[in-house]
Amino acid sequence: MNSQRLSEFEEYFQINESIRVNLFAVENQLVPQSQPALEDDIPPLFKLANEVSELDQASLRPLRNLGDLAQELAAFLQAQSRKIDLIMSHILASEQAQDNAIHCDSYGGGGIRFTSPDVYAIGQAFRTKLFLHHEASAVYCYTEVVAVEKQDSDHYQYTLLFTAIRTTDQELVVRASLHAQTRQLKKRQELEQIDDDSSSEK
């Protein structure tokens, strides 16, 4: 276990939500060592998806200051934006290539955790693609195994730290994890309300 690297991972909140992740093991020397090098390595489709997402947010933000009159316009623009998001999600979902597609245990601004029967060593680097369905976005980055925990006789849980990721993409992952937490809290409240209603009827 690399304690310093693990500390970097733990600086960020993790949400226990499963999302699709594509992993491809690479040699450490193939990991981009600078932001320009990473930018050159990111496929155009991933750049396009996130630029669309950022434009959506930027265009809707000014409408919040216009009051009630802007609500219908905002709703219309959000519906149009959602159509584009759905198309982008479908296109991104086809991004399989030779990568190993898994579903992670959790994710956050520091990286991801996943469970697998495959054996990887501390320090193993991966080219990584995260598919954030609810955000209609995807992140292309590089990660590294910083901790391994045996789950049972056949499975290990791996902690992967982001080692090469665009700042805007890391912010996107943080935002997605917070949105996921909000969804989970709302769902929990709804279930508690149903339980309360059921109890009061008895």
Tell me the helices (H) and strands (E) count for the chain, helix number first: 5, 8
Q: Are 126 and 24 in contact (CB under 8 A)?
A: yes
Does residue 157 register a pLDDT over 70?
A: yes
Which is nearest to 112 in space by CA: 47, 177, 192? Answer: 177
Looking at the DSSP assignment, which residues form a beta bridge with residue 144? 125, 161
Residue 153 banded pLDDT, cuts 50, 70, 90: confident
Residue 80 banded pLDDT, cuts 50, 70, 90: low
Q: Which CATH number characterizes residue 171's domain? A: 2.40.10.220
Least confident of 8-12, 49-53, 126-130, 155-159: 49-53
Mean pLDDT throughout 6-33?
93
Q: Supply the pLDDT for residue 104.
A: 94
SS3 97: coil
- CB atoms under 10 Å from CB of 4, counted, come to 7
Domain that residue 157 falls in = 3-201
Number of structural domains the chain divides into: 1
Residue 60 banded pLDDT, cuts 50, 70, 90: low
Q: Are 6 and 146 in contact (CB under 8 A)?
A: yes
Per-residue pLDDT tens digits for 95-139:
655 578 899 999 999 999 999 999 999 999 999 999 887 777 889
Host H or E run for residue 47: helix 44-60
Sign of dihedral through CA atoms 181, 183, 186, 188? negative
| Three-class DSSP labels, 106-161 | EEECCEEEEEECCCCCCCCEEEEEEEEHHHCEEEEEEEEEEEEEECCCCCEEEEEE
Helix 44-60 to helix 167-201 angle (10° resolution) is 60
Higher pLDDT pick, 6 / 197: 6
